[in-house]
Structure 1
Amino acid sequence: MAPVAGNGWTPTEKGAHLRGRRTSNTKPEVDLRRAVHALGLRFRLHQRVVGRCTPDFVLPRWRLAVFVDGCFWHGCPKHSPAEFRGPNAEKWREKIDTNRVRDLRNNSLLEEAGWRVLRVWECEVKRSPTEAARRVEAAARAQ
């Protein structure tokens, strides 16, 4: 097969690379869970709560759903590019916009079902997992 323009990968290699990307149990997610656990809070992982909505982890005792959103994939205001460049720029903009719409829809579904939602940016966890965990704890205990 001919290489894909720009990166020298064949379509098969590119597919294998993309399939290797984690969608759950990412490093920021695991780091946050460790810090939350160290604070004494217990949770369940990837539990489907409403419809197809599956938070990264839930604290059932407090009906709190926690998502660790990747800065690129979910459009972090500090770290997501303001403009995408290159031949697939429009595709990426649409993808990020679709993710944001889905996030808002999931928030609404969870809230309508009586859950509270906390979204933590990847960059917050990278900066300080302990501080991010304290946000989770504060949200859990705020009734």
Structure 2
Amino acid sequence: MSPATCVFYGCRHPVERGMSKCSHHRNRAPCSALQCHNQAYARGRCVRHGARKKCPIPGCTSYRRASGLCLGHTATHSAQAKARHLNLPPSTQPNTTPPAATEAVDAEWVLGLEPMDFKLPPSPSWNALDSVDLAIIHILLQDTVA
């Protein structure tokens, strides 16, 4: 008979005597959501069940990103801040969508420096994946699931 494994999802280590957790997880709590075997990170919950913080904008239910705002509000607020920085009247403020990857980036805005005499080159364009690339990705994904 094989020894029992840890209760945490994906952990294959054997449990410690008299416990349901391995030595790595022995001091860690499981998520408080029913039937969830993930490790709790904040407020007794795993990331899937609410350990992440919400966007602080009133009425927004999206999760925060590294900037402290959700994806949608990060783009909106950065465009509004740029408009204030350039002293543009409200009618001429730029669109709130982020620039396309092929556009040149305004270096002084990105770095928060005084105006410069150059612009950064555009990002390289992405080509569609061919059948060989898709086959490789498919094989790699199968290897990680098994």
- The answer to which structure has the higher strand fraction is 1
The reply to whether TM is greater than 0.5 is: no
TM (norm. structure 2) is: 0.25
Tell me which of the two structures has the higher relative contact order, counting C-alpha pairs closer than 8 angstroms and 6 or more residues apart.
1
TM (norm. structure 1) is: 0.26
- The answer to which structure has the higher helix fraction is 1
